[in-house]
Amino acid sequence: MIFIHPQLSAQLDAGALDGVHAALQAAIRLEHATIPPYLYALYSLDQDRNTAAAAILRSVVHEEMTHLTMAANILNALGGHPALDRPSLLPRYPGPLPGTVEHGLAIGLAPFSIGLVRDTFMAIEEPEHPLDFAVPPAAGITRDPDSAPGGDSAQPRTIGQFYRRIRDAVTTLGDGAFTGPPRLQVTTDLLPDIIAVTSVDTACQAIDTIIDQGEGTDKSPEETDGPDVAHYYRFAEVVYGHRLVPVPSAPPGAPVEQRYWYDGAPVPFDPAAVYAAPVNPAPVAYRAGSPVRRRACTNFNYTYTNLLKTLHATCNGEPDRLVPAIGIMMSLQEQAMGMMTGTTTGGVPTGPTFEWQPVNTKVLA
């Protein structure tokens, strides 16, 4: 479970607008920080042979982009200015997510594995009270309940709880605080869940969407307004090898944990179809090593920085820039796949480092 640092929530205690601005910028940093680890794992998959796992991870990345954009929409609606074009936005991997307790979970860049999904990705998305669903014997999995993903804590401070604190603060501010120009709101059919924020009601709707998509609710693992289960349970589907579906024989009124089980369509995973990318690639090693690997890493980081600048423009008065931003994301995937397969790095699998690189420095062989 991810624990949010108390100082991050404390800035909301006074009920002042600037405290809500700071909390929303922290939420943007936090949402962004989850995306590179998810992308690194996704890029490491041979997606023709690990199709189901790749599709689940890709769906989570798309929704994390939606969450980041909606946090920016709320900040804009409250007269703030989202910042996505600063080196400080980028965390160091491995390390804690921005705004989380320092001695908590260290998040790194690693190739896809069941252990990574179970121990890191599920911990990022873990709700305050995770629901524990059965794995039927027919699924071919033996599970020790004491080692199941999830758990509880006496006083957990989850990402969802942090967003609820923001929700309460926004409600206290009232509609009069929503002074930002509506033209700054970002919406697109490419990310259909994004909500334009103009009032307390729409801000709360956006926050509830972020929470439900990540954690679900204590009454259901499903997204409130979506066809899928929340991120935490989507990652559990990868771990248990089957989709989470309703139990056909569950009687009416049965407890929620008896109404679903991991007995749906298979989610197969072939560990042999994962590229041998390094864990937590070291930028220094690239700079001192092969010119072709150095060039590939520099090009990727330059494209990544360009993406962040384009997203910054998108969220600061140029919402139409979201379409080219998505095009840049496709270019990032192509570059990363070329690095991880070794096709653009002299046959040596190489992992992108997700660093700030504002200038595409020419590297000579």
Q: What total of structural domains would you count in the chain?
A: 2
| Residue 64 shares a structural domain with residue 178 | yes
| Residue 218 shares a structural domain with residue 300 | no
3-state secondary structure of 155: coil
Tell me: pLDDT of 253 over 60.
yes
Is 238 among the domain residues?
yes
| Residue 149 shares a structural domain with residue 178 | yes
Task: Name the residue among 259, 264, 237, 257 with its Cα closest to residue 248.
Answer: 259
Cα dihedral 269→31→276→296 (10° resolution): 140
Distance CA(252)–CA(51), nearest Å, equals: 35
What average pLDDT does this structure show over 66-74?
96
What average pLDDT does this structure show over 244-253?
92
Tell me: pLDDT of 365 over 80.
no
The tens digit of pLDDT for each residue in 99-148 reads 876 566 889 999 999 999 999 999 999 888 888 898 866 555 444 433 44
| Higher pLDDT, residue 160 or 205 | 205
| Residue 178 shares a structural domain with residue 259 | yes
Tell me: pLDDT of 273 over 80.
yes
Of 249, 273, 297, the one marking the end of a domain is 273
Lowest average pLDDT, out of 127-136, 148-157, 272-281, 323-332, goes to 148-157
Tell me: pLDDT of 247 over 80.
yes
Task: Work out the pLDDT band at 285, boundaries 50, 70, 90.
Answer: low
| Residue 266 shares a structural domain with residue 296 | no
Task: State the pTM of this model.
Answer: 0.91
Task: Name the residue among 285, 307, 302, 303 with its Cα closest to residue 294.
Answer: 285
Is 233 among the domain residues?
yes
Q: Which two tokens stand for residue 236?
A: 């559990």
| Residue 61 shares a structural domain with residue 202 | yes
- At residue 148, the pLDDT reads 45
Is 262 among the domain residues?
yes
| Higher pLDDT, residue 12 or 295 | 295
Tell me: pLDDT of 270 over 70.
yes
Is 358 among the domain residues?
no
The tens digit of pLDDT for each residue in 6-40 reads 777 777 877 789 999 999 999 999 999 999 999 99
**Residue range of the domain that includes 307:** 283-341
Is 175 among the domain residues?
yes
Write out the DSSP string of 13-27. TT--HHHHHHHHHHH
| Residue 17 shares a structural domain with residue 143 | yes
The percent of residues above 90 in pLDDT, for the chain, comes to 66
| Residue 182 shares a structural domain with residue 310 | no
- At residue 48, the pLDDT reads 95
Lowest average pLDDT, out of 90-99, 162-171, 240-249, 328-337, goes to 90-99
The tens digit of pLDDT for each residue in 172-207 reads 999 999 999 999 999 988 888 899 999 999 999 999
The percent of residues above 70 in pLDDT, for the chain, comes to 89
Task: Work out the pLDDT band at 222, boundaries 50, 70, 90.
Answer: confident
| Residue 77 shares a structural domain with residue 224 | yes
CATH number of the domain that 53 lies in? 1.20.1260.10
| Residue 221 shares a structural domain with residue 289 | no
Is 44 among the domain residues?
yes
Is 348 among the domain residues?
no
| Higher pLDDT, residue 143 or 347 | 347
Is 360 among the domain residues?
no
| Residue 61 shares a structural domain with residue 127 | yes
Please check whether residue 339 is in contact with residue 270, taking contact to mean a CB–CB distance below 8 angstroms: no
Task: Name the residue among 82, 83, 84, 80 with its Cα closest to residue 72.
Answer: 82
| Residue 255 shares a structural domain with residue 300 | no
Give the contacts of 145 (CB within 8 A, at least 6 positions apart).
Answer: 132
